[in-house]
Chain A
Amino acid sequence: MYAKLVFRNAKRSVKDYLVYIVTMTICVTLFYSFLSISSSYYNPDIGSAYDFTMLSDGMKMAVCMITLLLLFLIQFVNHYMLRRRQKEFAVQSIMGMEQRTIGRLFFAETLIMGIISILTGIFLGVFCSQFITAMLLTTYGKSYQLSWTLFPDTVLLTVSFFMLSFLIVGLQNTRTIQKTKIIDMLFADRENEPERKKSRWIFAAAILFELFTVWAFITGITKVLFYYDSRFAFPVRLMYFGNILFPAVTLAWSVLWVFRKKKWGFQKLLCGLLACSVLNALTAASVPALTNRYYLPLGNGMLRQYLLFVLMNLLFFICAFIYLASYSIITWKEKSLEHRYKEENLFFFGQILSKLKTTSKTMTLICTTLVLAIFLFIAAPILTGWASGYLDIHSMYDVQIFTKYNNVYDEKELPQDDYETVTDFLNEHDIETAYDCTFNLYLPRKKDFGRRIKYDFPIVAISLSDYNTLREMLGYEQISLGESEFTTQWKPIAAEEELNVFLKENITAETDMGILTLSSKSHYKEPIGETVYNSYTNVLYVFPDSICEKLLPVMRNRYITTTEKITYENALQLEKIFMAAYPEQAENKAAYDVRFSTLQMNSALVGNFILQASMIYGAVVLMVICLTVLSLQQLLDTGKYKYRFCVLRKLGVEETHIGKLILKQLGVWFGLPIAVAVAMAAVVTGYFTQTISAEISAYIGRTALFIQIGITIGILAILLICYFLSTWILFRRSVHL
């Protein structure tokens, strides 16, 4: 009998919670397909140059962490189902069913829906994992074939993960049902929500915000005391004092409010704090931006602290904005008779306000989550593009051996070696070299050997013939220089401005062998690897060979390209042998290091892939969660709405007007959080891209970035349209029935 009841209830609820089931299915699908890569049965053909185990563990971690977010969704939907069914539970317990049994029945019912989602999800996941494989193999630069396999370990992991989640939430629900009084269940949805449940979270948020402001205020004062200098440029001075002034204004406003509390009301305090949070965020955000621009000597810790302040201010802004939204609608309604008494507007205001007042907390959460999701979506391609662009510049040679003289104080200890161990190893393993170049980097003036302050390292020089060999290795054309001429080679990351200033100020270069003049072709910017430059410098001199012979060589590098790629195992082995022969760190000795493109590619690709996959996965999951919650909040209340629209119809409102009202209501409901989130995300992303604009133009390129942002917006729009349309259709259907 009970089993029959469970099945019948589940069957009936399927229609009501279709959106929930669809969402859960999507989540299981994503979970399974991303996780299938980490399966021990998964064996894609990515070539001997790559190792795969590193990826699986990382993926497993990332996917599981993100999916924990789903617990929130599962709990949310269960909570709503519980509330909706409470009256039914009350009747059942009045009829004599034990509350424990009712709880169990409800649990069984939700479990059935969960199982349906899991099964469908895994089925779809098998298809979907093909796309992930495609994405993976493209990352490794291989072509791919589709294969249809079910990975038992992934299935097991998926099933146990979701079952466990359902179990935890289910047990919690059963307990809630057992604890609730029958009378409360019976009258659960009898009256309007607002007066009954006045949440105090916004007060907590305001208090937290005040505390953070105090912290920001104190930080601002200490920074001025420790770092301020009246010679700073005007914007920097503004930044320093702004970071004291605006927190102070915020606190002053709060103090003022305390004295006039009775007259002003809480809303007025919030309005002021809202404005202050914008100003605070602006000044706090200017700290990292100006630090980059003016090379301010501020540590990473402080930058992080200010980013935290920015984050707190933005969060509070969202909280206060959403909370005040309902009050501004009320004020608008009160003030403007024209709008208030225009056709069905009264009804519309009633619908929006009654919902907004009770759900402002959820709305804030949704808004924040959406901002995060959009940011992840946009940042994922930027970060991976950056990383792979960086990789291209880093791993230009198959083997790079390079040195640093930062710890060497005796000229005799400078590196002189030709790295024969590497030659031996290559011969032993029959690895043919295409190019092999061992070369020195020289100090223009010997007396600069002692310059070891971080921003004062001397620029080193390379001889023209070595430079031309490197260019030949990389397929660039040769260059030539006059008798006493020099030219410069720049890192791609160097800003155009820095380059111009440098060339303007340095038309001559002073060396131990006399003064050289800048060649007519004054600079080259093609990437030639990051290890030919001295520490903390972005530029390399190119001198004629005759000059270099007489200078002091301080670094000795060897770059090799091979005809065939070195395998992963060989690279690992050679690295070990090299590290044993040449120590990476030693007191008063040169530091040696070796890089293999194979190893670099591997770790970078793995890192890249995990980063990209988990960011996109996380973003999609978050988006889906937000949209589901938004849509369910409307759909789960359709019982109430049906009655209300029925009254409207009886009062003589045309169907076309009712249709418009529904559209308007859903428009505001989806529009408000999404508009706030998109605006916020635009600000955050804009700030982010501005801060790393040098890296973006160096490693990714503007057009590529805009294309990626466009794709992101497209995906978001499609998801949004899907959810909006399905909510609209279901809503209309249930109101018209």
Chain B
Amino acid sequence: MNTILKLEHIQKYYGNKGNVTKAIKDISFSVEAGEFLGIMGASGSGKTTLLNCISTIDTVSAGHIFLEGTDVTEIKPKSLARFRRENLGFVFQDFNLLDTLTVSENIALALTINKTPAAHVEPRILDMAKKLNISDILSKYPYQVSGGQKQRCACARALINNPRLLLADEPTGALDSHSSQMLLSTIQSINEQLGATILMVTHDAFTASYASRILFLKDGEIFMELRKGSDSRNAFFDKILNVLTMIGGGQSHVC
């Protein structure tokens, strides 16, 4: 298996000389191709900062991030947007769909920004919609469909460019439990059937239990690592709860 993402001694500080907040103290890990990695942690543990650094929206204070051998921290600001749209896919908690466009157009936008030839756009959308089971809502506007459908549409948009890495920031945060379950099965099948590499940030144990490996962050450091291995999801879920209890305050996150 080859390594897609590799983080080497990442540090991120906020503030000035007298008053420094260390959001990330020292984090190193790597993600293999086709892996479904979850990152867990309480509020303020640095997980969103980490995601922002990987997604090149934020810069690191020290350390290196390699995406398929390219050092992300060395890319010039001018080419960052291009790098982002060619290599990364995003799924956000609040969907980030454009309300002026239909579902299909929202997906198409990601393609056209990447300068896909016009003739290829529609076939690819139809293909992706079929995989994510949103074919029948393609011509609807985001405000006409349910939250779960919106998030699946966002997933389709994130995946349409075949990104090296799919970054998901609390994808189930705005969904009810049933929709969450549906979405997570979808994400899992994306991972298993399409072979997409996924990095998901969440604070919810149930959501995290769908991942194959989980990193627990605490105060800007990796506190623990948990692998699913051959466990069933329920067993894995129990393990996660135990770790959370260990970190403290974890019980309150059980849904």
Contacts and interface: CB of A to CB of B under 8 A. Distances in A.
| A350, A351, A648 pick with most chain B CB within 10 angstroms | A350
A543 B203 CA distance: 111
A353 B101 CA distance: 10
B116 A341 contact: yes
Contacts of B121: 337, 341
Interface string B146-175: 000000000001000000000000000000
A647 B96 contact: yes
Nearest to B56: A652
Contacts of A733: none
B118 A346 contact: no
| A340, A346, A351, A644 pick with most chain B CB within 10 angstroms | A346
A603 to B, nearest CB: 59
A646 B97 CA distance: 11
A18 B83 CA distance: 39
Given A344-B109, A344-B112, A353 B118 contact: no
A187 to B, nearest CB: 11
Nearest to B95: A647
A337 B119 contact: yes
B80 to A, nearest CB: 8
B113 A653 contact: yes
Nearest to A640: B99
Contacts of B105: 346, 350
A341 B112 contact: yes
A350 B88 CA distance: 25
Contacts of B88: 652
Contacts of B143: 190-192
Given A191-B143, A346-B105, A350-B101, A650 B96 contact: yes
17 contacts: A192-B143, A337-B118, A340-B118, A341-B121, A346-B108, A346-B109, A347-B98, A350-B98, A354-B100, A644-B98, A644-B99, A646-B96, A648-B113, A650-B57, A652-B86, A652-B113, A654-B78
B110 interface: yes
B216 interface: no
A651 B81 CA distance: 8
Nearest to A339: B118
Contacts of A646: 96
A354 B81 CA distance: 27
B113 A644 contact: no
Nearest to A347: B109
The 8 A-B pairs at the shortest CB distance, nearest first, are namely A652-B85, A350-B100, A341-B118, A652-B84, A191-B143, A354-B100, A337-B118, A654-B81
Contact of A344 (B78, B90, B113): B113
Contacts, number: 80
Contacts of B17: none
A342 B100 contact: no
| A191, A338, A344, A347 pick with most chain B CB within 10 angstroms | A347
A197 to B, nearest CB: 14
Contacts of B9: none
Interface in A276-298: none
Interface string A640-673: 0000101111111111000000000000000000
A334 to B, nearest CB: 12
A343 interface: yes
B82 A652 contact: yes
A345 interface: yes
Contacts of B83: 652
Given A651-B85, A652-B84, A346 B96 contact: no
B115 interface: yes
Contacts of A347: 98, 100-101, 109
| B85, B86, B116 pick with most chain A CB within 10 angstroms | B85
A653 B108 CA distance: 14
Contact of A341 (B78, B98, B111): B111
A191 B99 contact: yes
A649 B77 CA distance: 13
Contacts of B112: 341-346
A344 B83 CA distance: 17
Contacts of B99: 191-192, 354, 644
B66 interface: no
A192 B145 CA distance: 13
Nearest to B102: A350
Contacts of B115: 343
Task: Kindly state the interface size class of chain A when it binds its partner.
Answer: 20 to 34
B96 A338 contact: no
A342 B98 contact: no
Interface in A620-643: none
B141 interface: yes
Contact of A651 (B113, B118, B119, B122): B113
A398 B61 CA distance: 91
A342 B118 contact: yes
Contacts of A345: 112
Nearest to A355: B100
Nearest to B100: A350
B127 to A, nearest CB: 16
Nearest to A654: B81
Given A350-B100, A652-B83, A652-B114, 11 more contacts: A192-B99, A341-B116, A341-B121, A342-B112, A343-B112, A344-B109, A347-B109, A350-B98, A353-B100, A354-B100, A644-B99
B102 to A, nearest CB: 9
Interface string A181-197: 00000000011100000
A341 B108 contact: yes
Interface string A90-124: 00000000000000000000000000000000000
Nearest to B115: A343
B100 A644 contact: yes
A191 B142 CA distance: 9
B88 to A, nearest CB: 8
Contacts of A342: 112, 118
A341 B120 CA distance: 10
A709 to B, nearest CB: 40
A354 B92 CA distance: 24
Nearest to B90: A650
Contacts of A191: 99, 143
Interface in A422-451: none
B18 to A, nearest CB: 27
B154 to A, nearest CB: 10
Interface string B200-238: 000000000000000000000000000000000000000
Given A644-B98, A653-B81, A338 B110 contact: no
| A190, A192, A353, A652 pick with most chain B CB within 10 angstroms | A652
Contacts of A344: 109, 112-113
A655 B78 CA distance: 9
A350 B106 CA distance: 10
A294 to B, nearest CB: 55
Given A192-B99, A350-B101, A354-B100, A651 B109 contact: yes
A554 B92 CA distance: 97
A330 to B, nearest CB: 12
Contacts of B114: 652
A313 B141 CA distance: 37
A586 to B, nearest CB: 77
Nearest to B78: A654
Contacts of B111: 341
Contacts of B116: 341
Nearest to A658: B81
A647 B118 contact: no
Nearest to B77: A655
Interface in A312-370: 337-338, 340-347, 350-351, 353-354
A652 B100 contact: no
Contacts of B84: 652
A655 B80 CA distance: 11
Interface string A55-84: 000000000000000000000000000000
A647 B118 CA distance: 22
A512 to B, nearest CB: 87
A351 B85 contact: no
B81 A652 contact: yes
